[in-house]
Amino acid sequence: MAQQAYLTETDNGGSGPERRGDRFRRLMNRLFSGWRGDPRIWRRGIFVAALALLLALVMLMHARIPNTVGNTGSLTETFLPWLGLLIPVLLLLALVRKSATALIAVLLPSIVWLNLFGGLLTDKTGSGGDLTIATHNVNADNPDPSGTARDVAASGADVVALEELTATAVPVYEKALASTYKYHSVQGTVGLWSKYPMTGVRAVDIKLGWTRAMRATVTTPKGQVAFYVAHMPSVRVKLKAGFTARQRDRSADALGEAISHEPLQRKVLLGDLNGTMNDRSLNGITSQMRSTQGAAGSGFGFSWPASFPMARIDQIMVQGIEPVSSWTLPRTGSDHLPIAARVSLDTSS
- Classify 131-344 by CATH class: alpha beta
Integer Cα distance of 2 and 8 in angstroms: 10
Q: From the CA atom positions of the chain, what is the Rg in Å?
A: 26
Give 77-106 pLDDT, tens digit per residue.
989 999 999 999 999 999 988 899 999 999
Give 34-86 pLDDT, tens digit per residue.
565 567 788 889 999 999 999 999 999 998 988 777 678 888 898 999 999 99
What pTM, to 2 d.p., does this model score?
0.84
> Does the structure show a pLDDT above 80 at 18?
no
Starting from the edge strand earliest in sequence, which strands make up the sheet with 223-231, in order?
A: 198-203, 213-220, 223-231, 267-272, 314-319, 290-291
Tell me how far the alpha carbon of residue 73 is from its chain's centroid. Answer: 18
- Do residues 135 and 229 make contact, with C-beta atoms less than 8 angstroms apart? yes
Give 168-199 pLDDT, tens digit per residue.
999 999 999 999 999 999 999 999 999 999 99
**Mean pLDDT score, 261-279:** 96
| pLDDT for the residue numbered 126 | 93
pLDDT band at 15 (very low <50, low <70, confident <90, very high): low
| pLDDT for the residue numbered 201 | 98
